[in-house]
Structure 1
Amino acid sequence: MAYTHLTMKELGWIETYYEIGLKTYKIAKKLGRSNQPIYNVINFLKEGRNVSEYYNRYKQNKTRCGAKKKTFTKKQTEYIKGRVTDGWTPDVIIGRREKELGCSMSTLYRRFKDSALFDVVTLPMQGKRKPNGHKETRGKQGDKRTLDDRKTAYPSFKNEFGHLEGDTIIGKNHKSAVITFAERVSKLIIALETPGRKAEDIEITLQNWFNNLPRNIFKSITFDCGKEFSNWKNLSNQQDISIFFADPGCPSQRGLNEHSNGLLRKDGLPKQMDFNGVSQEFITSVATRRNKIPRKSLNYKTPLEVFLENVSGLNYF
């Protein structure tokens, strides 16, 4: 059990018991304390002083307790700010160990919150994208393969390379879209320009993309239930890839993709942007920036590094 310091109320009782002549060990027993802190107070009172002075001295001494706030050199500060600008979190900065900073991840987070050196709002996003109780209002499709089907088809799904989570992010006035994928093992983000939001547009874009990839590099895709993916059977048959769908209103079943979409929004594809006015090169650059940031869950490797490690073993490249 952690030790707690004497409160002002307890000090008042000690002073009262002392004045009526109660023995120190009896005072300690009444207060449920050990003898030594009671002796300390009584010795202080014997000097002709009072408990208010004792408490003020305690508070003054406490201001000198604990470790001093961590300081950084100019080069260290510039390095940290540069990495945060690149999208790195304090956790990644410490875990990657590119530069010795002499502090823990928790300490660096605290310095963002209590220091004028760093701006906490520059850190990557936190929290939920949608509130509790959010209900999907878009059209949904039926006749789809479920996550139970995926479990049967791929028993090693959670640890197997080549499974994608997919969705679209919508642009200004809901007039444009970008198709997004996240590969589960490497956490690599893929973003594709598409001419429109209709199912035909999505299918054409994905057919063209898969035609430029090595055959069967990816095993499956798990989409949400949006109607834009209603041509999934054509894609599955022609590209020999399994396609499944998360349950309606359950974005957590595609949590990696949902989180990745939030990062893309933050890094350069915001809701107010008209995606019809940007190129595939720009969209790719936004995804690439995120893919070059180390991840704690990848043992501080980047998604790009882990992805290349896996595909190199498939003899595709």
Structure 2
Amino acid sequence: MSYEHLNSFERKAIYYRHNSGESYRSIGRLLNRHHTTIMREVKRNKPPYYTYFDESAEDLAAERRKKPRHAKKFANKTLYQHVVHKLQEGWSPDAIAGRLKKNHPNDKGECVSHETIYQWVIKDYQVGGGLYKALPKRHKKRKKQRKYGDLRGKIKNRVSIHERPNVVEKRSRIGDWEGDLVEGKKGSGYIITHVDRATKYLMAQKIENKTAELFNKATISMFITLDTSKRLTLTLDNGKEFSLFNKLENRLNMDIYFADPYCSWQRGTNENTNGLIRRYFPKKTDFSTITDNELQEVVNKINSRPRKILDYQTPEEVFLLDSL
């Protein structure tokens, strides 16, 4: 058996075969490696509930080889504590690394790569820590929705998303929104979410039930505070709670469009943001126990997370400062 470092080809083989359910012994025989080498490679580079990725493992291995064997675990404790705090705030390793680089472009001592952050998380896990729980989990693969037509009926006078101006699709301006509802435990209420397509800026408010009247009242209270240049269009799905959209258009001077039935991907910005909200309020959460202040705290956290697509600015910075 060989005892040299695993190479990228071997890690690629481990990735495909381990994630398809093949045993460590079987992979070891294929690569002429002891099965404990394969097992150690996977466990060293994969916290629980997360997939082993060959590319991430390769990066982590390279980082380990670059560092002296007896180097201190964390040369900059302040930096490490900052990373831990941001992980606990819901930031991804990429967001943390990208923002540090943006804030300290000429000071490498205040920066850290996302690969190193993953390595810190893995080391923390190996000594019994729980930092891995702060990492974004992989999304479950969505089942394809079968189309039986719109079972909820058509909204009268709705305007199709296909009639929406092309500029909305380009995400080149602030003021084009996507709206939806997040449902709590049965009978406990809903959270209305509105997300700006370009900046990912979120507004949210609780309602007791999803009547069109309550939806309109809450939506108007959120949008009416914005400058008219920041409330141009709103795209919704086909729920009956949106049936009084004409009143919204008249009150807010916004053009409202409707996605095709069963095409949630047409409102992908909103769907992804709802996923972030679910990290704080999982399915079957009793929304009646959540205060308005608690919801706003979550909204603030989401709006304060740097996004790679915004050059590691936050949605709040881009939206409020018009720095798109």
Query: TM (normalized to structure 2)?
Result: 0.68
Name the residue aligned to 1:112. Answer: 121
Give the conservation status (yes or no) of the 8 Å contact 1:138–1:226.
no
Name the residue aligned to 1:206. Answer: 219
Name the residue aligned to 1:49. Answer: none
TM-superposed deviation, 1:107 = 3.6
Structure 2 unaligned spans of 5+: 1-6, 11-32, 38-60, 68-72
Aligned pair count reads 253
Name the residue aligned to 1:68. Answer: 64
**Residue among 93, 97, 109 paired with 1:94:** 97
Given the superposition, is the C-alpha separation of residues 141 and 106 from structure 1 closer, same or farther in structure 2, using an over 3 Å criterion? farther
Cα distance in 2 for partners of 1:179, 1:121 equals 27
Given the superposition, is the C-alpha separation of residues 66 and 280 from structure 1 closer, same or farther in structure 2, using an over 3 Å criterion? closer
Q: Where does 1:189-204 land on structure 2 (aligned, <5 Å)?
A: 189-204=202-217
TM-superposed deviation, 1:295 = 1.1
Name the residue aligned to 1:247. Answer: 260
The yes-or-no answer on 1:85 pairing with 2:88 is yes
Query: TM (normalized to structure 1)?
Result: 0.69
3-state SS, counterpart of residue 205 of structure 2 = strand
Structure of higher CA gyration radius: 1
3-state SS, counterpart of residue 68 of structure 1 = helix
TM-superposed deviation, 1:305 = 0.6
TM-superposed deviation, 1:140 = 4.8
The yes-or-no answer on 1:131 pairing with 2:142 is yes
Report the AA paired with residue 89 of structure 1: S
Cα distance in 2 for partners of 1:250, 1:84 equals 32
- CA shift digits 1:268-310 (9 cap, x unpaired): x332223234332221111011111111111111111111111
Cα distance in 2 for partners of 1:4, 1:191 equals 47
Name the residue aligned to 2:161. Answer: 147
Cα distance in 2 for partners of 1:244, 1:75 equals 48
TM-align CA RMSD: 3.3
Give the conservation status (yes or no) of the 8 Å contact 1:111–1:118.
no
Name the residue aligned to 1:35. Answer: none
TM-superposed deviation, 1:156 = 6.6
Q: Percent identity among equivalent residues?
A: 29
Cα distance in 1 for partners of 2:299, 2:316 equals 10
**Residue among 220, 234, 238 paired with 1:221:** 234
3-state SS, counterpart of residue 274 of structure 2 = helix
- CA shift digits 1:18-52 (9 cap, x unpaired): xxxxxxxxxxxxxxxxxxxxxxxxxxxxxxxxxxx
Cα distance in 1 for partners of 2:110, 2:264 equals 38
3-state SS, counterpart of residue 260 of structure 2 = coil
